Structure 1
């Protein structure tokens, strides 16, 4: 696929971001943009049908490289995944809509119009501004889907997808919704004021960051989070170009589970934080150093916890070492492809922070700020949204 489809794909960076949100309860936090709410008891819509089945059927390949897994996330249950499309014909196909169906049901859980679908599609060789209404012959695209089920809504065991074309329908194969064994992790940080930025929104470079390496298009940062720390609505106090002005800088980074260190790198300098005047990394960014000072823990079951952009000189572990949950690994920094001090955290299918598939995970417990001086305990969830989080103190 064209490199234009993957613009900004290599950027592990974090910009200033929005201020944290407050809500009456966790369920009141809005889902990320591009996540469609499936309400309990909502009237179902009959799936689209055609009177005549054309031959040959639309030559549109429709695949999901990594099937989703039901993920509890701040008051809802989420399915987060992608459809990779490839037009194998020599004629253009116009995408008129998409329906998501539950198992063998004839009713649609979700029906996206052409305009809604356009927001969720990136076509190879076309910028996002050009939309995704049409796939030329031989062209490919990625559809980024996120279903947000209300807590009381049933999540089907399988899904099917139907693309509406001009005068035809293209049906994809069924996919499961319980693919990955969810790791339940301890806290990666301690204390309060943390916000999980750049989560699964179609505005996030993490979510839209499909990256080709080793001949495979993968999405390592599907569930990645950029942990930033706020006080009084701001990430820093003082000189915005001084890393020490940022509340997250130098905070302890902790092992989320027992495991073996399979990657530990130190010695990369911090960057001067990005400001409106611009940004220049301390050293040129490459595939080898994009994560900066980094630690990776093998969790077992083919899953790896990755911590990026650590402070130079702070890494406390070495490759091959066994660590215990809660053990100090290093400190928050601004190394590698980082614009402001933060902790980039993700779980992936191998130790390569870009050439891997991002996997879902849960934190065993944290507190979510729901009002001024009011907190709500959350357990076994993935923190979705821009809420303020308290991981507690030792």
Structure 2
């Protein structure tokens, strides 16, 4: 009987916890936010942890500003809390769509406006739930704090594409940072009647030497970059579905102008990986693309050369995976590299090109497999010999 009593007590506690998490505190109906998760997260392994990365859209359907104060994320089955964001940790994740105003300066979302909350969570691999639930606390301009629940989001269980590297050798700095206000992670593009986030998991690959230098001689000359002209290679056996090879590039980094949205990727190659996943290579050198639309390529085959075409702050290879063949008209999706060696990381990316990176601790495992490299990490890769 004692065992049964403890079991029922545990069940009761879990049920109460879930009800408190998933249920609204106030049964009174009030207008507030419309809450939507446009793209369900797919777990990707980073440094041995499962990362969930997604966006929550908050649209204020009232006439007055609403100021978010906290968001809690829980396991959809048990209600067990997984993460909580409040204070600066919440404020730095919220971006108002459109121009900022006085309400946003106070951390509020004006009536009739939409904001996007960017979520990144790292969990133990065995703690990833099948679904997520959310609870939001906010303050009304003319009232006290209120709480609403939702939405419930089923995780996308589609297996990640496990890929070879898009380049050879190294060291390469794999640049991305979810917190950058104008980084790939936060660049929503509303094209053809739909807002998408192509760069949700986009990476920029910059070649460096052992001292952390990224160029030789005059660093303003694009051709002096260490990575300029390096081969961009196929990450898998795939079919070429889109290319551009004739877009000019500026001779000097400082002279590169702003480009229209369809020209931002410059010269590029898109590979169909199958299962509605596409590998996209951007900023290739003009005239360097060696493949044609419809051509079947093999992993390791040279597609083109790293260059400086399109919107770019310096010569590098932009690489990401998406659910469509367009650089701007598709949702960015996670991917994993089959194998790479993690050498270290730039804690402060402003030192890139002028100082060495911070090496990994001796006890850390340098050889990684089936992972997405951590942002701003320095890695080396093995790749098959060129196949033309």
Tell me the equivalent position of 2:250.
271
Q: Secondary structure at the match of 1:135?
A: coil
Residue 160 and residue 131 in structure 1: after superposition, are their counterparts in 2 closer, same or farther (change >3 A)?
farther
Tell whether the 8 Å contact from 1:47 to 1:99 is kept in structure 2 after alignment: no
Answer 1 or 2: which has greater helix percent: 2
Residues 161 and 335, structure 2, Cα contact 8 Å, conserved in 1: yes
Residues 365, 52 of structure 1: CA spacing in aligned structure 2 closer, same or farther, 3 A cutoff?
A: closer
The answer to whether the 8 Å contact 1:99/1:110 transfers is yes
Q: Which gives a bigger RCO, structure 1 or 2 (Cα 8 Å, sep 6+)?
A: 1
Tell me the equivalent position of 1:99: 72
Structure 2 Cα separation of the partners of residues 156 and 98 of structure 1: 18
User: How far does residue 125 in structure 1 lie from its aligned partner after superposition?
Assistant: 3.2
TM-score normalised according to structure 1 size? 0.81
- Which residue of the partner structure matches residue 284 of structure 2? 310
Aligned to 1:227: 205
Q: What is the number of residues matched between the two proteins? A: 345
Cα separation, partners in 2 of 1:373 and 1:174, compared to 1, 3 Å? closer
Any idea what the Cα deviations from partners look like across 1:346-393, whole Å, max 9, x if unmatched?
111112211210011111111111548977111111112222111125
> Is 1:280 aligned to residue 256 of structure 2?
yes
What is aligned with 2:267?
293
Q: Which moved more, 1:46-55 or 1:259-268?
A: 46-55
TM-aligned CA distance change 1:50 to 1:183, over 3 Å: closer
| Residues 1:84 and 2:57 are matched in the alignment | yes
1:77/1:150 contact within 8 Å kept: yes
Q: Which residue of the partner structure matches residue 376 of structure 2?
A: 386
Partner of 1:28: none
**In terms of Rg, which structure is larger?**
2
Once the two structures are superposed, residues 147-198 of structure 1 have per-residue CA deviations (whole angstroms, 9 ceiling, x without a partner) of: 01245x5111111111102332111121122343311111110011101112
Q: How far apart, CA to CA, are the structure 2 residues paired with 1:255 and 1:201?
A: 29
In structure 1, the gaps of 5 or more residues are 1-43
Say which is worse superposed, 74-83 or 178-187, in terms of deviation. 178-187
Determine if contact 1:273/1:334 at 8 Å carries over to the other structure.
no
C-alpha spacing 1:45/1:250, structure 2 compared with 1 (3 Å): farther
Of 321, 326, 338, 1:347 maps to 321
- Once residues 72 and 131 of structure 2 are traced to their aligned partners in structure 1, the CA distance between those partners, rounded to angstroms, is 14
Q: Within 2, Cα distance between the matches of 1:301 and 1:207?
A: 23
User: The residue matched to 1:134 in structure 2 has which SS?
Assistant: coil
| 1:315 Cα deviation from its structure 2 partner | 0.4
What is the root-mean-square deviation of aligned Cα atoms in Å?
A: 2.6
User: 1:149-188 counterparts in 2 under 5 A?
Assistant: 149-150=123-124, 154-166=127-139, 167-188=145-166
